[in-house]
Amino acid sequence: MNIQLGIERLEAQGFAPLKHKRIGLLTNASGVNRHLLPTYTILQHTSAVNLVGLLAPEHGMYNAQPAAEQVQSGTDPLTGLPVYSLYGDNLRPSLEIMRQFDVIVCDIQDIGIRYYTYLWTISHLLEAAAAAQVTIMILDRPNPLGGIAVSGPLLEPDQTSLVGRFPVPVCHGMSLGEILTMINQTWLDHPAELQVILCEGWQRSHTWLDTGLAWVPPSPNMAHLSALWQYAGACLIEGTNLSEGRGTTLPFEVVGAPWLDADQLSAQLNHLGLDGVYFRSHQFRPTASKFAGELCQGVQVHITDDIQFQPLRVWLSLIQQIYTVYPDEFVWLPPVRPNGLVHFDRLIGSKSVREAIIAGHPLDEIMMGWAQSTQDFAQARQLFLFYDV
C-alpha cells in the first residue's frame, strides 16, 4: 500500500505553509516518516523551516519516561532546542511561551482510544493557541485500529481528566486530525486556527497491518501491535489493584495478582465462551509498577480471531469475574492525583459501569446502557471524516 503520511505530504509541498514563520513542534519518537527519519530532524535540517522550540507530551520527547511521571522542560540534547513540557504542573504553555511561535506543528502517533493522553494534550494546546493567535498544524497519521468501528461509553461531564475531556467513546474510529477538528469545532469555546495535512492513500477500512508501515511505539508500553489490539479493554485494569502487566514483556496482554489462582481463573474465563479469545493460565513477576518483585498468578489473553474479538467485552468480563470470585481482595483504585474520582470511572467514562458490576448486572445489560449514545456519536462524527471507506 502506498501511503503518504502528513509529514511526507508537507515535504512534497516544499514546506510552503511553514516558510517565513517561527515553528514549534509537538512530537515524540513516533513522529517519523516511512523511512523512520524523525520529524524533528527533518524540520531542523530544512532550510525553509525555522524550528525554534519543541513541546513534549507524556513520556517525553523520546518515550523514555514511565506513565504518569512528570516531564520536565529544558534543553533537548540532540537538537539543542528548548523543550516545553505539556505533562507537568501545567498542561498548557503560557502565553509568553506561545508567542514565540507562529505555527505549532503536531506530529505524533495516536492510537484511536480515548484513554491515550496525546489527544487531550493537543486539545489543551488548541485552547492556548486560540488565546495567543497561533496556528496549530496536524500532520495526520492513520488510526491504527482503522476508521470504522466506534465502541464503548461516552465520557460523562463529571469524569473529565487528561484521559478524557469531552463526550467521546472509548474507540472513536477517527484519525487524530479528524477528532481534533471535531473537538475544535464542537466543544471549544474559542476554536483555534487549525490546519490538517491529510495522509494520502489511507482508507477507513485499513488497520495498521494494512499500511505496510513500521510500528514505532508511541509510548513505552505500546511496543507491540498485540498490546494495541487489547488496550481498549486492558487499560481498564489500571483502575484496579490488579497488575496490567507493566514491568513485564507483555503489558496489556496479561493480568494478575499474588492472590489469584491462575488455573482456576483461566478455566472460569474460558467457560464464559467469549468469541475470539482464549485465556491461558500465566505467572509473572513484574520488575516495576504494581506488585514489583512479587510472583503474580493470572492469565494471558490470547486473541484467536481478530474479527470476533471485542476488547471491552473481554476485559470487562475478566474484571467482573475476578470481582465476583475475590470480593475481599479486589480493589477499585483512586486516581493518581486524587480529585474525588475513582480512576476506573475516569477511564470507562462513567461511574455507572462500576456500580453495575458491583450490583451484579449482566454484562450485556451494562453494554446496552451505552449503545444509543455511541451510535449517536458515530452519526455526529460523520461531519468531520476526511477519509473514505
Full DSSP string of 14-45: TTGGGTTSEEEEEE-TT-B-TT--BHHHHHHT
Name which of 67, 64, 53, 61 is nearest 96 in CA terms.
53
The reported pLDDT for the residue numbered 339 is 67
State the average pLDDT over residues 180-202. Answer: 98
**Which residues are CB-contacts of 183 (< 8 A; sequence separation ≥ 6)?**
123, 126, 166
List, by residue range, all CATH 3.40.50.12170 domains of the chain.
Answer: 6-214+379-384
Full DSSP string of 288-300: SSTTTTS-EEEEE
Phi, psi (deg, nearest 5) at residue 103: -135, 135
pLDDT tens-place string over residues 112-146: 999 999 999 999 999 999 999 999 999 999 999 99
State the average pLDDT over residues 343-351. Answer: 96
The answer to whether residues 214 and 36 touch, using CB atoms and an 8 Å cutoff, is: yes
Phi, psi (deg, nearest 5) at residue 80: 75, 5
pLDDT tens-place string over residues 152-164: 999 999 999 999 9
What is the pLDDT confidence band of residue 337, given thresholds at 50, 70 and 90?
low
Phi, psi (deg, nearest 5) at residue 277: -150, 150
State the average pLDDT over residues 295-302. Answer: 98
H helix runs in 99-251, sequence order = 117-132, 176-186, 208-211, 225-234
Class of domain 6-214+379-384: alpha beta
Rounded-to-integer distance, Cα 242 and Cα 319, Å: 9
Class of domain 225-349: alpha beta
List, by residue range, all CATH 3.90.1150.140 domains of the chain.
Answer: 225-349
